[in-house]
Amino acid sequence: MGKLFALLQKLSPREQFIAWAVIAALVVSGGVMLHDAQQKKLLALKGQLDAVKNEIGGLKSEVLLRQKEVDQAAAQQVEAKTRATLVAQTQQQLSQGGRVSELVSELMRTAKEGGVDVLSIKPGEQRDQGSYVELPVTMELRARFRSLGEYLQQVQHLQQVVLVGRVRVEPSTVEGAVLTVEVGTVSFLGKV
User: What pTM was estimated for this model as a whole?
Assistant: 0.46
**Maximum Cα–Cα distance for the chain, whole Å?**
137
Least confident of 106-115, 132-141, 181-190: 181-190
Cα gap 162→181, rounded to integer Å:
17
pLDDT score of 67: 92
Cα gap 190→163, rounded to integer Å:
15
Average pLDDT over residues 172-187: 69
Of the CATH numbers 3.30.1360.170, 3.90.1280.10, 3.40.50.300, 3.30.70.60, which one belongs to the domain with range 97-190? 3.30.70.60
Q: Is 118 helix (H, G, I), strand (E, B) or coil?
A: strand
Residue predicted with more confidence, 120 or 37: 120
Q: In sequence order, which residues have a C-beta less than 8 Å from that of residue 26 and are 6 or more positions away? A: none
Instruction: Specify whether the CB–CB gap between 119 and 141 falls below 8 A.
Output: yes
User: pLDDT digit string (tens) for 55-92?
Assistant: 888 889 899 999 999 998 888 888 777 766 666 655 55
In the predicted model, is pLDDT for residue 146 greater than 80? yes
Q: How do the domains of the chain map onto residue ranges?
A: 13-95, 97-190
